[in-house]
Amino acid sequence: MFILLSIRQSLVILILLLFLSGCADSAPTPVVMVTTAVSPTQTPTPTHTPSPTSTPTPTVTPSPTSTPSPTPTPTVTAVPLTISGNPRLAQLSDPMPDGRYPCGAVDLFDFPIDPPHAARVSRGGGDFGVFRQRYDKYHAGEDWGGISNASNLGTPVYSIGHGLVTYAEPLGWGRDQGVVIVQHTFKDNSTILSFYGHLDPDSVTLYPGECVTRGQQVGEIGQPRTVPHLHFEMRTQSPYTPLTGYWATDPTEVGWIWPSQAIWEQRIASAPGVLWTRPFHATNTQFVGNFDDESFILLEDQQLLRMNWSNGRSQSLQFDIEEVNTALSDSQKNQLYIIDGSGLLSAYKIPDSDEFTDTVPINLELLWQIEIDHRRVTQLKPLPEGGLILVSRTKMIALDSTGEQLWQHELTQRPFEWLITPEAIYFSIVGNGQGVWRIQNANPPHIISSVGGHLTQSGEHIWIYSGGGLYWVNPNIEHSETELLFELPGKSLQWGDMTPLPAGGVLLAHPDSTISRLITVSPRGEIQQQAAYPEAAEGKQRLITLGEHIYLVSEQSVQNSTNIVIFKLDLPASKLQRVFSGGTRTPISTDTWLSAFEDSLLLLNIGGGTLFNLNPTIASEVTLQLIE
């Protein structure tokens, strides 16, 4: 699931898969905050934490207007959407041997089993670098099976790219059978080796010095002493020696590379419109917020980095915290809030651009610290006028920019979605205790609707896409009633999404049991158009508006892999143009998120895979030329 937020300086954040299922309503133990003796440099440390301000119980819970005749979802007559565009075609080229590249330069890497995408293969990609007690060493490659529900033995094995055979022996591993090694040369003259082990001896017919092309068969899975499988490596050393497949220390320190990660990163880096990539490092990678007009803050491997939007260059942020659990950038007060593993919430001043250079680590100035029960806090959210909200499973606590507590609010379960606007912040809850709440200024949340779901703002209304239909409410009118615009039964809310249209109204990506549709709704709340999108675009859908263009982001999971496909929408023509496709074979769904910058760039982290920055306009232009 992607979560759509909007932040100052035209930053719109879509955070993917942040919320787990909520817990049951109970009488929770309050989150305790205690002042810690710290010598602040500018902002005085509070001497005590005020008693929590109880959230007033609303006298009347808003409920949906009893609409006499709600508009039902019309009988499906949706125009089918057509899909065009194949970014992969822009990456492919025939090998052109010359003095620099004896077998041609690499254009694109595919997978060694069931190329190009290994979509039908369940085993492969997840066991690189694993310590094996049996050998008392680390696995220097990946073990791949064949196509699911088929025998591994005899499965064809293919070269991942154009290259030169440097080693080919039917019994290169003796009783563990055949080995082939291929050297791949890139256009910058750098090289990498791909290694294929446990091949059937009779299938190894290549010779050193021969050229192979991407997708050319190099052998078949044989019968080693263990269960039949392919041992697949990528490395930068030993082109003429098979080695053993294991190493006494971390293989990445001596020339081995995580194969499936390297294949996907190379594919993504060479895709049209991709400005830069960053390989997978650790779980719990988070977009923290803006640092300045040219950069953002990234939480990676419990460290904070300043990342340049245009080129991906990074700088470490220096402060007296070793391990960061979560963080939040406060653009209103130019502060950075950090929670560490010991239970300290710290506030640091973000320096002005003339106070640091791009070449050295950036030192941050501590403003204040307080202790919190960090085990309960799952999220940090910004307050509209500066400060932050600590979100736990059962309550929220708001602090101003000096660390003083403003209010606390009890929760029946975790919020489903957040919407940040220049005037207020909204959150919704679905299921038990569902509804939509508004937070404005320093005031505690107040309920504006008893319907929960996806949220967006268009015109004067907050639109609510719930499990039963589309609603809206005007938050600027006191005691405004929630109006049901039309009924819309379907799948779980996590599979659909909603975005505002540039000319007003909203667009829904709505899957149900029979058909998945894009539904255009006018500013008056009336259905204008329905278009059915085909199976190729199905999956968990998220919509994002960048300037005058709308993009559909589809997260598709097959076997043990995840693929992200981005489509540009042409609603009047009922067309989807595929502008990007990329994925991972080690998916971490909760780490997948998407952020937009200045209506022109998409920053996407594929959980368990590559972080990259995409200019979808460039990607669209390139793929459109291929179509024409």
Q: Which residues of 373-410 are buried (b: 16+ CB within 10 A; e: fewer)?
A: ebebbebbbbbbebbbbbbbbbbbbbbbbbbbbbbbbe
What is the value of pTM for the model shown? 0.86
CB contact at 8 A, 301 and 309: no
- For residue 64, the SS3 value is strand
pLDDT value at position 500?
A: 96
Q: 99: which DSSP letter?
A: S
**CA atoms of 176 and 197, how far apart (whole Å):** 8
pLDDT value at position 628?
A: 54
CA distances for 452 relative to 7, 379, 472, angstroms: 22, 19, 11
Give the residues across from 16 on adjacent strands. 2
Tokens of 609: 């895979």
pLDDT value at position 462?
A: 98
CA distances for 321 relative to 43, 279, 338, 366, angstroms: 19, 24, 9, 11
CATH class of segment(s) 2-20+28-77+271-627: mainly beta
pLDDT in tens, 189-241: 999 999 999 999 999 999 999 999 999 999 999 999 999 999 999 999 999 99
CA distances for 439 relative to 50, 161, 381, angstroms: 20, 54, 11
How buried is residue 69: exposed, middle or buried, by Cβ count under 10 Å (0-12/13-18/19+)? exposed
Percent of the chain with pLDDT over 90: 72
**CA atoms of 380 and 391, how far apart (whole Å):** 6
- For residue 261, the SS3 value is helix
Q: Cα-Cα-Cα-Cα dihedral of 524, 526, 530, 536, to 10°?
A: 60
**CA atoms of 350 and 366, how far apart (whole Å):** 10
Domain 102-267 matching CATH 1.10.580.10: the answer reads no
- For residue 2, the SS3 value is strand
- For tokens 């068969």, the residue is 217
The domain spans of the chain are: 2-20+28-77+271-627, 102-267
Tokens of 91: 């990456």
CA distances for 217 relative to 158, 178, 303, 520, angstroms: 4, 14, 43, 48
**CA atoms of 379 and 624, how far apart (whole Å):** 41
Output phi, psi for 353, to 5 deg: -60, -25
Dmax (CA) for the chain in angstroms is 83
Output phi, psi for 259, to 5 deg: -60, -55
**CA atoms of 400 and 386, how far apart (whole Å):** 7
- For residue 622, the SS3 value is helix
Please identify every stretch of the chain with a pLDDT value under 70, giving residue numbers as ranges: 1-76, 374, 536-537, 627-628
Tokens of 303: 């460290």
Give the residues across from 549 on adjacent strands. 546
Residue 170 region, left (φ>0) first, then alpha (ψ -120 to 50), else beta?
Answer: alpha
